[in-house]
Amino acid sequence: MARDYYGTLGVSRGATDQEIKRAYRKLARELHPDVNPDEEDRFKEVTTAYEVLSDPEKRRVVDAGGDPLAGPGAGGFGGDPFGSGGLGDIFQTFFGGGGGGGFGGGRGPRGRVRPGEAALVGVTLDLDEIAEGARKEITVDTAVLCDSCTGSGTRGDSKPVTCGTCKGAGEIQAVQRSFLGQVMTVRECPECRGAGETIPDPCLKCGGDGRVRSRRTLTVKIPAGVQEGMRVRLTGQGEVGPGGGPAGDLYVEVSEASDDVFVRDADDLHCTVRVPMVDAALGTEIEVPTVLGSVATVTVAPGTQPGAVVKVRGHGMPHLNTGMRGDLHAHLDVVVPRRLDAIQTELLTGLREAIDDDVELVSATSKSAGSGGLFSKLRNAFAGR
Ligand SMILES: [Zn+2]
Ligand SMILES: [Zn+2]
């Protein structure tokens, strides 16, 4: 029996090309997988029906009572596993058609032994550990192979038997009437949950699942230069699958503990250095211990202004792939003495007379370096500096 392409689109046999196109567009909008993922199969049927009826040659075959997509090699409705005809007009399955690990869309029993899921654990490293790379112990709580039945799920010498509910098919079929004609639905067998077989005498330790939960400690090697949120994959260290199926992978996600001194920005490090007013004026050098045991020499040039940033190349974090180190950015905070003794006051008073600078009211729009105007300061503040 040929498929009812007219019924699928909900148009009459005498419909014009315009009417067919309009009906298809309306249904496609409703059923598009982006809008309605559950209706993906109907979307495919509707699209197929439109492809047939919008092609004059194919439509002639349909009008003559045939099916242009039937016969050997015809694509049709994605290789109807129940054979064309028999159950009627439209084939529908509620499960995703392959991929995505879903129920196999009427492809028979999927078996008890299935691959395991991936697992995810987190690990926190401090800046020094990230700089050097580290070996960290992690504790994972996952499904492992049941050692009592070695994954078979059966007790002693007993064997699994064919499921009585689905007769081994792993799925239950039902025919429903709808406005589109007869619709066949397929759902997973509730008895064997799609496996097609059941275990009458299950292993006492795992209850027939072939796996048990267990806590393990593993050592994971974290490469130098990793960034927050990156994941290291340990192949086959995830969950063992149902029925003792192959284990999924284990992902270890890196978190970076905040550091007391340094703020990391990719491969660069930032720190704040307090510089006494006189050192900023006269210039000096400051040694800053950074990661990997290195000491960066921060050169404070004579006449350094508050907020100046000195970049020291090669004293940042190592890059994940190349190992090349980023830079250190020292943000200089010029400090004015809070209290002066008599001698210091005398010296500074002398300095004031020698320099003879005026106190100045700055124009709000001033762009001069150091004593930048209010607007540019606010702008910089908004820019995050
Ligand atoms: Zn079953
Ligand atoms: Zn067992």
| Amino acid at residue number 164 | G
Residue 99: is its pLDDT beyond 50?
no
Distance 244 CA to ligand 2 centre (A): 9
Question: Lowest-confidence range among 24-33, 221-230, 249-258?
Answer: 24-33
Q: Report the alpha-carbon distance of residue 62 to residue 375 in Å, rounded.
A: 76
Distance 109 CA to ligand 1 centre (A): 8
Residue 283: is its pLDDT beyond 70?
yes
Whose atoms come closest to the Cα of 192: which ligand? 1
Residue 383: is its pLDDT beyond 70?
no
- Do 309 and 331 contact (CB within 8 A), yes or no? yes
Q: Report the alpha-carbon distance of residue 114 to residue 108 in Å, rounded.
A: 14
**Which residues are bridge partners to 93 per DSSP?**
none
Mean pLDDT of 339-362: 92
| Amino acid at residue number 228 | E
**Which has more confidence, 344 or 69?**
344
Residue 84: is its pLDDT beyond 70?
no
Distance 156 CA to ligand 2 centre (A): 10
Distance 198 CA to ligand 1 centre (A): 8
Place of tokens 């267990």: 214
Residue 330: is its pLDDT beyond 80?
yes
Task: Calculate what percentage of the chain has a pLDDT beyond 70.
Answer: 84
Distance 61 CA to ligand 2 centre (A): 58
Q: For position 352, what pLDDT does the model report?
A: 93
Model confidence at 204, in pLDDT bands (50, 70, 90)?
A: very high
Residue 92: is its pLDDT beyond 70?
no
In this structure, which residues have their CB less than 5 angstroms from ion ligand 1? 163, 165-166, 189, 191-192
Distance 379 CA to ligand 2 centre (A): 67
Residue 384: is its pLDDT beyond 90?
no
Residue 54: is its pLDDT beyond 70?
yes
Residue burial 14-40, b: 16+ Cβ < 10 Å; e: rest: ebeeeebbebbeebeeebeeeeeeebb
Q: For position 89, what pLDDT does the model report?
A: 28
Model confidence at 318, in pLDDT bands (50, 70, 90)?
A: very high
Mean pLDDT of 183-204: 90
Mean pLDDT of 122-147: 95
- Residue among 115, 116, 110, 114 at smallest CA distance from 196: 110
| Averaged pLDDT of the chain | 84
Mean pLDDT of 256-275: 96
Distance 141 CA to ligand 2 centre (A): 18
Q: For position 370, what pLDDT does the model report?
A: 53
Q: Report the alpha-carbon distance of residue 202 to residue 83 in Å, rounded.
A: 36
Q: Which two tokens stand for residue 314?
A: 């090669």
Model confidence at 108, in pLDDT bands (50, 70, 90)?
A: low
Q: For position 80, what pLDDT does the model report?
A: 34
Model confidence at 285, in pLDDT bands (50, 70, 90)?
A: very high
Distance 107 CA to ligand 1 centre (A): 14
Q: How far is CA 13 from the centre of its chain?
A: 48
Distance 211 CA to ligand 1 centre (A): 21
Distance 115 CA to ligand 2 centre (A): 17
- Do 160 and 199 contact (CB within 8 A), yes or no? yes
Whose atoms come closest to the Cα of 209: which ligand? 2
235 in helix, strand or coil?
coil
Distance 240 CA to ligand 2 centre (A): 12
